[in-house]
Amino acid sequence: MDEIEVMQEVVQPTRRRRHSKEFKAQVIRAAMQPNVSIAAVALHYRLNANMLRSWVAAQEELDAAEVARQSMSGPSAEFVPLQLDVPVAASGTAEILVEVRRGAATVTVHWPLSAAGDCAVWLQGWLR
């Protein structure tokens, strides 16, 4: 029997190409034009269409982030202190007025403003 000689071809791995920032920017601009197919641009520049899609998606995210950053960098709001007039009761002291209505019944509680913390504690317990 004749021995069949098996030739083993050594496949050299292809080296990854590195693209410059300028080249990427040019290709991305071309792919982002209206009515232009990303696949057609990829074929023209001899690139993988999926890779170009990922470049375009990354650029769109950067553009959206820049727009958001610019919209937030508008004039900052400044704190404006307000003077509120405190209503004074007939007795001459300020008070907290709590009025609760249930059906036909109404409960009104007058609490001195100087004890507002106690009023808050009482109201929290009452509302439980």
Tell me the DSSP string of the chain. Answer: -PPPPPPPPPPPPPPPP---HHHHHHHHHHHTSTT--HHHHHHHTT--HHHHHHHHHHHHHHHHHHHHHHHHTSPPPPP-----PPPB-TTSSBEEEEEEEETTEEEEEEEEGGGHHHHHHHHHHHH-
| Residue 11 is assigned to a structural domain of this protein | no
Determine the pLDDT at residue 124.
80
**Structural domain that includes position 114:** 95-127
Residue 102, in any domain of the structure: yes
- Count of domains forming the chain: 2
In a domain, 8, yes or no: no
Q: Final residue of a domain: which of 71, 86, 104?
A: 71
| Residue 6 in domain | no
- pLDDT for position 32: 93
Tell me, yes or no, whether 64 lies in a domain.
yes
pLDDT band of 88, cuts 50, 70, 90: low
pTM comes to 0.47
